Amino acid sequence: MKVLVANLGSTSFKYRLFDLPEGRQLARGGIDRIGQESSHCFVEIGDQEHEVDQAIADHAAAVQLCLDQLTDDNYGCLKSVDEVSAIGFKAVHAAHLSGVRIVDDELLSVMQELFDIAPAHNPPYVKAMRQLREAFPQIPLVAALETAFHETIPPENRSYAIPRNWEREHGIKKWGFHGASHRYIAGRVAELTGRDDLKVVSCHLGGSSSLCAIDAGQSKAASMGMTPQTGLPQNNRVGDFDPFALPYLIRRTGKSLEDILKDLSSKGGLYGLSNGLSTDLRDLEEAAAKGHESAGLAIKTYVAEIRRYLGGYFALLGGCDAVVFTGGIGENSKLVRAGVCNQMDWAGLKIDKQKNRTATGEAVISSDDSTVQVWTIPTNEEIIVARQTADAVSRVSSVESPGQ
């Protein structure tokens, strides 16, 4: 079964094509600046790479170009579009419609209701899904919701201290996100260690960051709460914040609630802490090394928040067997990893400075006498979504054709 996995932004479309059940990646590609005068498009199939700049009007046109590339007579890996069994999406938030679902009107409606909850994620996904349903009605669309992995979190770790009817009637609780990444890390650590009973803290650190406490492969707590704006400081999103500061800010600034929320979701996080210097940790590390005070504060605050959750998850799990760093920052920033693991000897966690400096790919960076293993593991959210998509399409096919 050939499954196309789509990762969408408001003006971007990135994809990977997998052959299931083997999980072999056949192709990957992407298109940036969709809807602008000129879009940059690239595709990598085997050892061949192709790039072109041309106008791409919308996400439907982006998918059409993708399919044209995959079926190209000279370098394509498919003979026909009909070989694509489904398109899977790493969708973010649909409240009670969690799990892995065939995209339908109900799902799109609920996702649209949550535009203000997930403003950077839900709008482009809903728009693209609607375009693709119309343009390619023969290809099933599947949404693998980021909240699905966290359905095993017990109530005491998901509930806010709010009136009980708010959760029952309005779904106000800690949903947790980055589910595909944390699910992949849980499975990969079990494969690498030969154990499926480990207590693991998965640290997905990147433009969007979260921690997850995992016990025997199941999520027990997640740092992101009701929305992807919460938990750790994000690249430009606030992270944890006292809601009672909002009316005070409204009075002091003269801004509306909507304007303040927009600032918190676009001018906060590392960008805000660095006084608008950058959303990219690499820029902040370079500036901090040259003495930029706000850049240094941004990094220190980011590390401090990671440590706060990490220590809490050690307590929640009753100990820890492995800490895993993943995501763009987790895999590449030796500075952040060292800061997070600093003075954790009390918990049995020690990193080897040399291993941390030279780590690439899947690597153990803990010292030989550390009782907690510390890993860097590149995540692979796309293969998780591909497998979930294939399972969903197979279930639908078996229901529609029970006698076959």
Is a pLDDT exceeding 80 seen at residue 108?
yes
What is the model's pLDDT at position 135? 86
What is the model's pLDDT at position 210? 97
**Residue 17 domain flag:** yes
Asked if residue 356 and residue 250 are part of one domain, the reply reads yes
Could you check whether the bond before residue 233 is cis, i.e. omega within 30 degrees of 0?
Answer: no
Asked if residue 318 and residue 240 are part of one domain, the reply reads yes
Asked if residue 201 and residue 134 are part of one domain, the reply reads no
The residues pairing with 41 across neighbouring beta strands, listed in sequence order, are: 31, 52
What is the model's pLDDT at position 259? 97
Tell me 228's DSSP state: T
Q: Detail the residues annotated as belonging to a binding site.
A: 7, 14, 280-282, 328-332, 381
Asked if residue 199 and residue 126 are part of one domain, the reply reads no
Question: What average pLDDT does the segment 141-168 reach?
Answer: 97
Which residue, among 143, 149, 205, 215, has the nearest Cα to 176 in the 3D structure?
A: 149
pLDDT tens sequence across 197-238 = 999 999 999 989 999 999 999 999 999 999 999 999 999 999
What is the model's pLDDT at position 403? 52
**Residue 393 domain flag:** no
Asked if residue 200 and residue 135 are part of one domain, the reply reads no
Counting every residue written for the chain, the total comes to: 404
Q: How confident is the model at residue 38 (pLDDT cuts 50, 70, 90)?
A: confident
**Residue 92 domain flag:** yes
Asked if residue 320 and residue 244 are part of one domain, the reply reads yes
Task: Provide the sign of the torsion angle of the four alpha carbons 61, 66, 68, 69, taken in this order.
Answer: positive
CB 324 within 8 A of CB 363: no
Asked if residue 140 and residue 240 are part of one domain, the reply reads no
**Residue 182 domain flag:** no
**Residue 374 domain flag:** yes
What is the model's pLDDT at position 402? 54
The residues pairing with 15 across neighbouring beta strands, listed in sequence order, are: 6, 29
Buried b (16+ CB within 10 A) or exposed e, 210-222: bbbbbbebebbbb
**Residue 237 domain flag:** yes
Asked if residue 217 and residue 124 are part of one domain, the reply reads no
Asked if residue 24 and residue 98 are part of one domain, the reply reads yes
Any idea what the CATH number is for the domain that residue 139 is in?
3.30.420.40
Domain boundaries, position 202: 195-381
Q: Detail the residues annotated as belonging to a binding site for Mg(2+).
A: 7, 381
Angle between helix axes 381-400 and 179-193 (nearest 10 degrees) is 100
Asked if residue 112 and residue 231 are part of one domain, the reply reads no
Top pLDDT among 119 and 243 is at 243
| Mean pLDDT, rounded, of the chain | 94
3-state secondary structure of 402: coil
Asked if residue 120 and residue 20 are part of one domain, the reply reads yes
Count up the domains in the chain and report the number: 2
Is a pLDDT exceeding 80 seen at residue 398?
no
pLDDT tens sequence across 357-394 = 999 999 999 999 999 999 999 999 999 999 999 999 99
CA-to-CA dists, residue 35 to 12, 56, 237, 254, 338, angstroms = 9, 6, 25, 34, 42
Asked if residue 214 and residue 351 are part of one domain, the reply reads yes
385 phi-psi bin (left φ>0, alpha ψ -120 to 50, beta other): alpha
Q: Detail the residues annotated as belonging to a binding site for ATP.
A: 14, 280-282, 328-332
What is the model's pLDDT at position 10? 65
**Residue 10 domain flag:** yes
**Residue 127 domain flag:** yes
